[in-house]
Structure 1
Amino acid sequence: MAEAAGRLTELAEEVLGAPLPVRIRAWDRSESGPPGAPTLVIRHRRALRRMLFRPGELGLARAWVAGDLDIEGDLYAALDLLAGLIWERPGSPAPQRAAVLRALARPEIRAAARELLTLAGAPVPPAPPAEEVRRRRGPLHTLRRDKEAISHHYDVGNGFYSLVLGPSMVYSCAYWGTADEGVATLEDAQRAKLDLICRKLGLQEGMRLLDVGCGWGSMVLHAVREYGVRAVGITLSEEQATFARKRVAEAGLADRIEIRVQDYREVHDEPFDAISSVGMAEHVGRAQYAEYAGALYSLLKPGGRLLNHQIARRPVADEEAYHVDEFIDRYVFPDGELAPLGRTVGQLEEAGFEVRDVEAIREHYARTLRQWVVNLEEHWEQAARLTSPGRARVWRLYMAASALSFERNRIGVNQVLAVRTPEAGDSGLPLRARTWSA
């Protein structure tokens, strides 16, 4: 085969029944596809073996992480063009799986596939990249399995996260504004988010705050410095806890902040006046969410507030058939699950909470993710040294694709304010509570 790119383009278009929206450059330096379009670079024929032996998202992910596959040009434009072909989403132009299978059953397509297999080289699948989590066995969301999943995502080096997140060390959606509002940079926007949460929780001097999934300690540090509370931060990541404790000690706040390596199910020193849970509930899982909501309710004193900041997916017709994307599950958030906003609100209410406010801020997360991608790209060589080139590639793809998902309204993120309202009915909130959203 003289020109691999041309043959690959022909085969892809026969199977998809539509023109390929990106250009292809193959390992033999041949190119095919629309001029000026982002280019999918197949650096090694090994990429074909990965995709042939594991068709779909996981095969592509393995090729990307291993460096066998790359994109030249605008990464976001390329992912946007490919999204409908790779990921089937409600309302997307993706071909139906049945139509693709019918195409693959045609004799000429089978012949082309055999030709492609020959082109791919060795008739055995390459080993998955080292960054991939192997398929897990046993029940989901046990204490041990959750700790292992958190370790995979967060224990990859505090230095790496410092490059990506910047000085704030906040790994959740920032809250953007304008330069006139003093919110011009990522650091400003993360500080604005932390302060928004503190105001929603009604923090006052002397209160006791629990931060569930405290990360590198930014929330508890802000709450103690600015609002005079006492705080407990819990995380399952040993590296996060070490980093957070160092920050607390350097700030001279060790007498007011305690950082624990602890699961929310193991906290028994209630009551707390307020609880923040920011970007943590995505790890809980649908089977455990009722327990999560009930546990937080029991840890609050009557009148106490919960701020639950959580990514949400869109509802689907068959909720039981929902599954996490393979790339996310194997490389990013093992065992993570997203739930529709309605289910989250319902389960908080079933646990006894009175839900008082929901603020949707998905556009803020898209902007945050794009800034993290800029940070990663600007420090690419250092980031790859601090973890691995494959891990850096995982984060670049994950964050860029996630930014597009928020922009296209495929997923959202919401701050839900809930109260353990006393039997007498006084929630403790002002009549016009949205004064915090300025």
Structure 2
Amino acid sequence: MTASADTRTDPARWPDVAAVPHAPVRARFASELVRRIAARVPLRVETRTGAVGDPGLPVLLLHRPQAFFHRVGTGGLIGFGESYQAGDWDSDDLPRLLTALAANVDHLVPRGLQTLRRPFAAAAPSRQDNTRDNARRNIADHYDLSNDLFALFLDETMTYSSALFGGADATWDDLAEGQRRKIDRLLDRTGVGPGTRVLEIGTGWGELAVRAAERGATVHTITLSANQLERAQALAARRGVADRIDAELLDYRDLAPGRRYDAVVSVEMIEAVGERYWPEYFATLRCALEPGGKVGLQAITMRHDRMTATRRGYTWIHKYIFPGGIIPSLPVIERHAAAAGLRIGDRLDFGADYARTLRLWRERFISRADRLAGLGFDETFRRTWEFYLAYSEAGFATGYLDVRQLILEA
């Protein structure tokens, strides 16, 4: 199994993980629900007193069943994640277990019980709405944790988005090449070359901006992450292109009006924008574009019916990983792009490559987890991020999520 059952959690840092709720009625309901799920989904539930499900199936090992059922009964899927953070359960193969659940997401709750899900639905806190002030804080909560943390599991390019692999499988040695392939395809399709003026919305740690500048382009790249800005500026200097890159801590809504670019690129930034601000985001892309220019957008997407069903929800990912985020569907992107005067001229879908990317990140993260304490991160943080990476991998492995490169034209 992946971890010991006696995980200790700091109540000051992780209050909702440290405290086990007391809800006997809901715990009984959760116990019955898990029994039904085990009968419908290919998994095996094990406790000290017995097991349900066939050997060889992915295992849900309950160390503390009562704590698990009280958390799930009270918090639903948020409680399920918090229970893993707390060490109430483990799995012999966490991605495989979560993939089995994700593949059956539409059928986890029997139809007759689905009306009972509403009491579990939590409202997103107002601080996560992506106003200018909140957006900066939401970004900092994730991306400014520590550059050294991200360096533990990202490849040498420090690229925190899906790689584009050339074959059916991928190893760690393929990852950096896959990230450069992804970046270069986006730059090729938007026509970035000598003399091109490029706007990048969402700098990351700087690899795309630097590769564009190495082609002879001049790049204006903006981010809300102070840590990423510092690293991107240092990378540009180290690679000898600092004179061609203007890296700035700036909200996309505060770009100078009237400044135009031959190419606008934005990689996995739209997920952090927030539904209320999508019209302004696409309007910004269009207004920044020189006539004849192109927008290169890489976006995580989900099925439209699932997005519609979950768009008002507050999830474990919102609470612990990406505050204020929402993943759009392709029809939503098409609609908002059209309203801004843009159309999709080219498209590549490569969700399977994101599952491979996440597998490599997760394996690297686990193999270097002993370094987390030296960076100031505790055992609960380790379990939180292991769950996040496996949870995300399962989403792409099942097709619940996809990732696309979209080239938009006026």
TM-score for the superposition, normalised by structure 1: 0.77
1:334 matched to 2:348? The reply is no
Distance 2:372 2:403 in 1: 27
Partner of residue 161 from structure 1, selected from 138, 150, 153:
150
Matches within 5 A, 1:246-325: 246-268=234-256, 270-316=259-305, 319=308, 322-324=311-313
Which residue pairs with 1:107 in the alignment? none
Which residue pairs with 2:81 in the alignment? 61
Which residue pairs with 1:76 in the alignment? 95
Matches within 5 A, 1:4-23: 11=32, 16=37, 18=39, 21-23=42-44
Q: In the TM superposition, what is the alpha-carbon distance from 1:390 to its structure 2 partner?
A: 2.4
Partner of residue 395 from structure 1, selected from 367, 378, 385:
385
Partner of residue 136 from structure 1, selected from 125, 137, 156:
125
8 Å CA contact 1:311, 1:414 repeated in 2: yes
Give the aligned CA root-mean-square deviation in angstroms: 3.0
Which residue pairs with 1:96 in the alignment? 110
Q: 1:16 to 1:267 in 2, by over 3 A?
A: same
Runs of 4+ residues over 6 Å off in structure 1: 7-10
Deviations 1:23-77 (A, max 9, x none): 4444xx44423334333233345434323332x20111111122232212x2222
Q: In the TM superposition, what is the alpha-carbon distance from 1:15 to its structure 2 partner?
A: 5.2
Q: Which has the higher contact order (CA 8 A, sep 6+)?
A: 2
Secondary structure at the counterpart of residue 40 of structure 1: strand
8 Å CA contact 2:162, 2:354 repeated in 1: yes
Distance 1:84 1:355 in 2: 29
Q: 1:396 to 1:325 in 2, by over 3 A?
A: farther
Partner of residue 70 from structure 2, selected from 46, 49, 74:
49
Distance 1:71 1:256 in 2: 49
Distance 2:331 2:31 in 1: 44
Which residue pairs with 2:9 in the alignment? none
Secondary structure at the counterpart of residue 305 of structure 1: strand
Distance 2:41 2:403 in 1: 32
Q: In the TM superposition, what is the alpha-carbon distance from 1:325 to its structure 2 partner?
A: 5.6
Distance 2:351 2:399 in 1: 8
Matches within 5 A, 1:366-377: 366-377=355-366
Distance 1:417 1:100 in 2: 39
Q: 1:101 to 1:140 in 2, by over 3 A?
A: closer
Look at both structures and tell me which one has the larger radius of gyration over its CA atoms. Answer: 1
8 Å CA contact 1:16, 1:100 repeated in 2: no
1:230 matched to 2:196? The reply is no
Which residue pairs with 1:365 in the alignment? 354
Letter in 2 for 1:353: L
Q: In the TM superposition, what is the alpha-carbon distance from 1:17 to its structure 2 partner?
A: 8.3
Secondary structure at the counterpart of residue 380 of structure 2: helix
Letter in 1 for 2:240: G
Secondary structure at the counterpart of residue 160 of structure 2: coil
Deviations 1:205-263 (A, max 9, x none): 122111111110110011111x1111121111111111212212222322111221111
Partner of residue 344 from structure 2, selected from 338, 341, 355:
355
Give the share of equivalent positions with the same residue, in percent. Answer: 29
Secondary structure at the counterpart of residue 255 of structure 1: helix
Q: Structure 2: which 5+ residue stretches go unaligned? A: 1-27, 117-121
Which shows bigger deviation, 325-334 or 7-16?
A: 7-16
Secondary structure at the counterpart of residue 366 of structure 2: helix
Secondary structure at the counterpart of residue 76 of structure 1: helix
Q: In the TM superposition, what is the alpha-carbon distance from 1:419 to its structure 2 partner?
A: 2.2
Deviations 1:303-331 (A, max 9, x none): 11110110111111893763346111111
Matches within 5 A, 1:167-246: 167-178=156-167, 185-225=174-214, 227-246=215-234
Deviations 1:164-199 (A, max 9, x none): 1111111111111149xxx96001100111111110
Which residue pairs with 2:401 in the alignment? 411
Distance 1:139 1:12 in 2: 31
Q: 1:195 to 1:101 in 2, by over 3 A?
A: closer
Q: 1:299 to 1:38 in 2, by over 3 A?
A: same
Distance 1:285 1:176 in 2: 29
Q: 1:10 to 1:258 in 2, by over 3 A?
A: closer
Matched positions, count = 372
8 Å CA contact 2:302, 2:328 repeated in 1: yes
Secondary structure at the counterpart of residue 326 of structure 2: coil
Q: 1:305 to 1:260 in 2, by over 3 A?
A: same
Distance 2:352 2:73 in 1: 36
Deviations 1:87-142 (A, max 9, x none): x33xxx3233533678xxxxxxxxxxxxxxxxxxxxxxxxxxxxxx9952268220
8 Å CA contact 2:348, 2:404 repeated in 1: yes
Q: In the TM superposition, what is the alpha-carbon distance from 1:279 to its structure 2 partner?
A: 0.4
Q: In the TM superposition, what is the alpha-carbon distance from 1:84 to its structure 2 partner?
A: 6.0
